[in-house]
Structures are given as structure tokens and as C-alpha cells.
Amino acid sequence: MKSVTLHSLRDCRARGEAFSCLTAYDATLARCADSAGIDVLLVGDSLGMVLQGHASTLPVTLEDIVYHTRCVARGKQRSLLMVDLPFMSNADTGQLLRDAGQLMRAGAELVKIEGEAWMADGIRELTRRGVPVCAHLGLTPQSVHQLGGFKVQGKADAEAQRIVDAARHLVDAGAAVILLECVPRDLARRVRDAVEVPVIGIGAGPDVDGQILVMHDVLGLNSGYVPRFVKNFLHGQESIEAAFRAYAEAVHQRQFPAAEHTF
């Protein structure tokens, strides 16, 4: 099958077709998700919580991300591989470039970075050097303590406008993709209408171009609190690959997220 590229995501957006994204951390499940038709795999710093047992993503190191990126890169064939820059990779431009370079050498095809409009200079420098960037806005887990917890962002008018403005600014700086996490549906629609690049959502409603979930959530491997935007796709399926395929099809057909998964 033809490999998914940034051009593929742009074409999906232009045609009004949704694309599917899922986290992955090892070769076996990456191969499984790839075979199931998942368009984008993310080696997320969520591995700190779902693999390492931490309470947040903050303890995850660059070495952790590089290791899992290499594993996923060896397992996938068709899917586009997006990779998180971990906490404090954006401390300065030099470190940002060095860390992104390591991820690209490990197999990343798109690098995701958290931050708002102030990240424009870093994104501009990465783009100049051939590193495609996804800018992560809304709930940014690396700022969980500053945000006061894992809460919906952009509910107030001023905050919503700041997110829209940041998306525009970062796209102008070169961001190839925007990812919105835990924002109201109407705000996600505003951001999608404000930029010309693909917009991925998690807890952002159905009106964006792509949807992403954590693999463990898709498989119902939750302990305790289950976020509103999560759905167990393994329920009623005979295999993990069937669950991934059900998730991909639900996204492609715009059946997921439904109203009950939306803020």
C-alpha cells in the first residue's frame, strides 16, 4: 500500500476526508495498527504514563522517546510516523534542533512539539532545516502543573481567541500540522477554519481533519478515570487488530467522535 505522507494528510483535508491517528510504542503493535489502516502513528510521551507508570509525561527523556521511535519505525510500513519532543526539549533553539535531529535519525517523519505562539521561532528554525512540525495546542500535558491539571482549555472567550491566534501564528512560522487537545468543539472548528493545514483532534470534536487516541484507551486498558473523549474499540472485537480497524473505520466514516465524546 502507498505510504502516508504530509501530502496525503493535506489531500484528505482538501477532500473533506478524516484520517486516523493512534499512539504506538513497539514494533509489534505498530505493525498491527499499520495493517489495520491507521494513517498516522504517534510515539507519544504518553508512554511515561501508560508504559512507565508515571503520573504525567514529564519524566520521559529524549532517550526513552528515541528508543521507542526506533522500535515503531521498524514495525510500521505505511503509516506516517509522528514523534513527541519530550519535556524541556524547547528550552532553547539549539537544544530543540539537536533533539529533533535525534528523533528524525531514529525514524520520525513528523515531530510534535507543545507550546503556543512563543514557539514560532523554534518551529521556523526546524522547518528551515527540513524537520516537519506538528504544533500541539490546547491541553498540553507537559504544562499540566501550570494548567492546574488535565482540564478542558479554551472555554473562556479570551483563552479561545489566544489558541486561534497561536494556531495562525505557528502555521505562518511553518507548522505543517496542528493538534488540538481537550478543547470545546466550536473552538476546534474555529481553529480548523483559521488555518490551511491539517488539524488533528483529541477531545476536540468531529469537525477537525484527523482524530487521535492513545492505543491503551482504544483497547479499554484504563485504570480508574476514563476521559470523556475515549471509546473502547476492543469491546465486541475478536482481536487487537480488529479493534484498531474498527477505530480507523469509525474515524474515516466520521462516526467517531460522537456527541458523547465531545466537549
Residues recognised as catalytic? 181
**DSSP assignment, residue 41?**
E
Closest CA to 197 of 253, 118, 109, 132: 132
C-alpha cell at 255: 462516526
Give CA–CA dist 23/45, Å, rounded: 9
Give CA–CA dist 76/213, Å, rounded: 18
Compute how many other C-beta atoms are within 10 angstroms of the C-beta atom of residue 27: 16
Length of the chain: 263
